[in-house]
C-alpha cells in the first residue's frame, strides 16, 4: 500500500544542509496501523509530508498503491492525494476565515463531488461538533480543532490516514477520543500511519517503528 525506497531528504538552508531523512525504507500493508515514534527533530513531519505527496524527497521513491507519486505532475498528485489520503497536520492547518463545516468540506473542491454538506455534517455530529458547525475555527478549543481536522481528513473517505502528532497538544480525554477515531477508521479497513513523539497511540498500533536522526532504528 505504502512503500518507501531509500528515501532521503536534505534541506538546503543558508546555514548549511540538514539531512532530515537518511535512506529510509518502509513498507506498510493495506489495513495496517503503524506508529513511527521518535524525538522532536528526528524527521517525522518531513517523512509524513513526503508520504503525503507534499514534499518531494531529494532521493528515493515513494509508491502509494503501486503508484510512484512523484512521477506524476503536481496537479495529478494533488488529485491522487485528495482521493486516497487524509492528512492530519501537526498544527491542524484549519482555514481561519471559514467555519467548521466549510473546513471539513475543503477536500470536496479537489475531487468529483462524491460527498457534500450532508456528509460533512454527519462526520461533525459523530465527532461531537454539531453545535460548532457554523463557528469560525479560531473560536474552537484545541480538542475541537483537532476533531475538525480529523473530520476533514475523513471527508473524502480515503483509504489512508496520515496523522502528524494527532494527540500532541491535547489533554488526555481529547487525546483518547482522537485515538479512538483513528482506531475506528482502522477497524473499518483503513491504513493508518501516525508519527508522534509520545506513546499514547502505541496501544492500537500493529507495529511501532522507532526513528532517530532521520533513520529508523533496527528492529530487534
Ligand atoms: P520532527 O517532526 O520529528 O520534529 P521535522 O521533520 O520537522 O522533525 O524536522 C527534521 C529536521 O529537519 C530538523 O532538524 C528540522 O530543523 C529540519 N527542518 C524541517 N523542516 C525544514 C525546512 N523547511 N527547512 C529547513 N530545515 C527543516
Ligand atoms: Mg513534527
Cell of 25: 525504507
Q: Note the pLDDT of residue 6.
A: 97
Ligand 1 cavity residues, CB under 6 Å? 11, 13, 18, 20, 38, 40-46
For residue 196, the CA-to-ligand 2 centroid distance in Å is 8
Phi/psi for 158 (5° steps) reads: -70, 165
Nearest CA to ligand 1 atom 20: 46
Atom of ligand 1 nearest to the CA of 214: 10
Can you list the residues of the chain whose pLDDT is less than 70?
A: 110-113, 219-220
For residue 81, the CA-to-ligand 1 centroid distance in Å is 22
Nearest CA to ligand 1 atom 24: 11
**Which mutation among 10, 15, 17, 46 tests ligand 1's pocket best, with the greatest number of atoms within 8 A of CB?**
46
For residue 122, the CA-to-ligand 2 centroid distance in Å is 30
Q: Note the pLDDT of residue 110.
A: 63
8 Å CB contact between 210 and 217: yes
Nearest CA to ligand 1 atom 16: 41
CB-facing half-sphere around the CA of 179: CA atoms within 13 A: 22
- Tell me which H or E stretch contains 178: helix 172-187
Angle between helices 117-126 and 142-154 (to 10 degrees): 130
For residue 197, the CA-to-ligand 2 centroid distance in Å is 9
Q: Note the pLDDT of residue 112.
A: 66
User: 3-class DSSP state for residue 200?
Assistant: coil
Amino acid at each position: 500500500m505504502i512503500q518507501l525506497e531509500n528515501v532521503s531528504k536534505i534541506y538546503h538552508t543558508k546555514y548549511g544542509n540538514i539531512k532530515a531523512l537518511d535512506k529510509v525504507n518502509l513498507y506498510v500493508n493495506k489495513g495496517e496501523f503503524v506508529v513511527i515514534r521518535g524525538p522532536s527533530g528526528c524527521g517525522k513531519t518531513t517523512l509524513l509530508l513526503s508520504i503525503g505527496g507534499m514534499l518531494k524527497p531529494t532521493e528515493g521513491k515513494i509508491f502509494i498503491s503501486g503508484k510512484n507519486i512523484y512521477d506524476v505532475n503536481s496537479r495529478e498528485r494533488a488529485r491522487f492525494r485528495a482521493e486516497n489520503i487524509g492528512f492530519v497536520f501537526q498544527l491542524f492547518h484549519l482555514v481561519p476565515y471559514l467555519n467548521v463545516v466549510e473546513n471539513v468540506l475543503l477536500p470536496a473542491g479537489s475531487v468529483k463531488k462524491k460527498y457534500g454538506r450532508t456528509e460533512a455534517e454527519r462526520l461533525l455530529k459523530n465527532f461531537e461538533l454539531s453545535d460548532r458547525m457554523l463557528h469560525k475555527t479560531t473560536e474552537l478549543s484545541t480538542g475541537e480543532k483537532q476533531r475538525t481536522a480529523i473530520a476533514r481528513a475523513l471527508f473524502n473517505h480515503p483509504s489512508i490516514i496520515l496523522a502528524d502528532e494527532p494527540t500532541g497538544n491535547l489533554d488526555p480525554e481529547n487525546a483518547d477520543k482522537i485515538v479512538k477515531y483513528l482506531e475506528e477508521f482502522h477497524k473499518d479497513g483503513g491504513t493508518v500511519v501516525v508519527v508522534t513523539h509520545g506513546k499514547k497511540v502505541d496501544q492500537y498500533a500493529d507495529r511501532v517503528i522507532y526513528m532517530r536522526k532521520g533513520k529508523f532504528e533496527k528492529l530487534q
